[in-house]
Amino acid sequence: MEKEVAVIGVGQSSFVRGYEGSIRELAFEAFREAMKDAGVTQKDIGASVFCSAPEYDKQRSPAGVLAEYLGLIPQPTFYIETVCSSSSTGVKVGYSMIKAGLHDVVCIVGFQKMSEITSAESQERMGRGADIQWEAPFGTMMPAYYALYAQAYMAKNGLTHDDLMSVRLKSATYGVVNERAVYRKGVKAADFDASNPEAKMAGPVAWPLRVGDCCANADGSSCIILANKEKAKAFSKKPIWVVGIGAASEAVNMAARPDFAKGLSVGYGAAAQAYKMAGITASDVKVAEVHDCFTIAEIMAYEGLGFAPMGEGKQLIREKATYKEGRIPVNVDGGLLSKGHPIGATGGSQIRTIVLQLRGEAGPMQVAGDPGIGLVHNVGGVGLYGNVTIFGR
């Protein structure tokens, strides 16, 4: 396992609805925490990378604006975008620059202020992260796209609505204890009771997905500071090494997708690369963050990552194997479903969670057994992009 590039600092704003500030102020929250965590100053940072999905706020070319606000000029800065996986793509680029010897320390900031537009506008923006020429004219939106996968998957593999609900009940368990999560209320099975008009999770959004199957929009920021071996050892008592990186892409149009019942191809492709680079297999992973933008996405992720055989992801949630006490804890910070999904900030937030887990600093979410290897699975669009990043001590 190669130990050349390490995470030396992590930060995250609280994920909230309606952040009372602008995008530069939002980015500052995560950046400040990561800088204090790393114990570095701006002059130590060789370059910065900013990551978000465009068109949620009005700022064009945000990198220069945010770099100035964070005191990171005149160092090089630029913008990276792969919608929901933007900040894990940013970490891949930061890793590459350090490995290439261009910079010793790179900071990657993910941000998103979704509350500047309405929920319907947000759905339209997200829908346009898919095929605007041939699909958006039908009125597509993210829940509908994932529902296409859910429908085919459930028909073939015997996955039930109760299984999907179980994913949400798990995420809510940890949303309650994560003080940075947007959705901190508990969720119980009765909330999914379709016979009760008061049940807040039961209403259909894009059938077979219900309100409770969908992640929470949020405003938020994340920051990851990467360093080369020499600087990592100089600055950090607990460097967490980036030991595996994989990434893949898939056809944007649903008409060009392979079998829907088999889940997202990018999950399989990115995982295979990352495992190969790290020289490990799925069973070596002790804690994971997966891209649960919808409940069905977590089940499909189990399989893409090799935590369960294809079609058998339901067994993990039925056996509670992905709870904190289980065989392979997944999303024990609340995941996108409860912690929230401020698009450009999500990958960095997932990485922060895994870094804290490997350091033993995850507080009430800490998994037992002193985990040595953790994994982050971050998907952009409807499996348009997929990143898997593996971390080790």
Partner 1 sequence: MGFEKFGRKSFTAITKTAKFVDLLVEGKVEGTVCKDCGAKFFPPRADCAKCLSKNMDWFEVPKKGTLETFTTAYYAPFGFETDPPYTMGVVDFGDGLKLFARLAKEIKLEDVKVGMAVTTRPLKYDDGQISFEIVKA
User: What's 53's DSSP letter?
Assistant: -
Stretch that binds partner 1, among 23-31, 66-74, 97-105, 131-139 (CB under 8 A): 131-139
Query: Which residue among the candidates 103, 161, 291, 341 is catalytic per the annotation?
Result: 341
Nearer to partner 1 by Cβ, of 159 and 240: the residue is 159
**DSSP helix/strand/coil, 65:** helix
Residues between 252 and 291 with contacts to partner 1, criterion CB under 8 A:
253-257, 260-261
Residues between 137 and 156 with contacts to partner 1, criterion CB under 8 A:
137-141, 143-144, 147-152, 155
CB of 140 to partner 1, least distance (A): 7
DSSP for 223-266, please give it.
Answer: EEEEEEHHHHHHH-SS-EEEEEEEEEE--SSGGG---GGG--HH
**DSSP helix/strand/coil, 301:** helix
111 neighbors 120 (Cβ within 8 angstroms): no
243 neighbors 198 (Cβ within 8 angstroms): no
User: How many residues contact partner 1, by CB under 8 A?
Assistant: 42
Query: Which residue among the candidates 51, 84, 215, 293 is catalytic per the annotation?
Result: 84
CB of 6 to partner 1, least distance (A): 39
> Should residue 364 be labelled a site residue for partner 1 when binding is judged by CB under 8 A?
no
Distance CA 155, CA 37 (A): 47
12 neighbors 222 (Cβ within 8 angstroms): yes
Nearer to partner 1 by Cβ, of 95 and 149: the residue is 149
CB of 202 to partner 1, least distance (A): 12
Is-catalytic flag, 291? no
Nearer to partner 1 by Cβ, of 287 and 337: the residue is 337
171 neighbors 331 (Cβ within 8 angstroms): yes
CB of 122 to partner 1, least distance (A): 8
> Should residue 160 be labelled a site residue for partner 1 when binding is judged by CB under 8 A?
no
Q: Which of 132, 189, 190, 194 binds partner 1 (CB under 8 A)?
A: 132
Region for 101 from its dihedrals, namely left if φ exceeds 0, alpha if ψ lies in -120 to 50, beta otherwise: left
Is-catalytic flag, 84? yes
CB of 310 to partner 1, least distance (A): 17
Distance CA 289, CA 135 (A): 30
What lies within 8 Å, CB to CB, of 199 at 6+ separation is 190, 191, 192, 193
One-letter amino acid at 49 equals V
> Should residue 135 be labelled a site residue for partner 1 when binding is judged by CB under 8 A?
yes
Q: Radius of gyration of the chain from Cα atoms?
A: 19
Sign of the Cα pseudo-torsion (212, 214, 215, 217, in order): negative
Stretch that binds partner 1, among 37-45, 205-213, 325-333, 368-376 (CB under 8 A): 205-213
Q: Which of 12, 123, 322, 338 binds partner 1 (CB under 8 A)?
A: 123
Do you find a cis peptide bond into 342, omega within 30 degrees of 0?
A: no
> Should residue 197 be labelled a site residue for partner 1 when binding is judged by CB under 8 A?
no
Contacts with partner 1 by CB under 8 A lie at 118, 120-121, 123-124, 126-128, 131-141, 143-144, 147-152, 155, 203-209, 253-257, 260-261
User: Active-site residue numbers?
Assistant: 84, 341
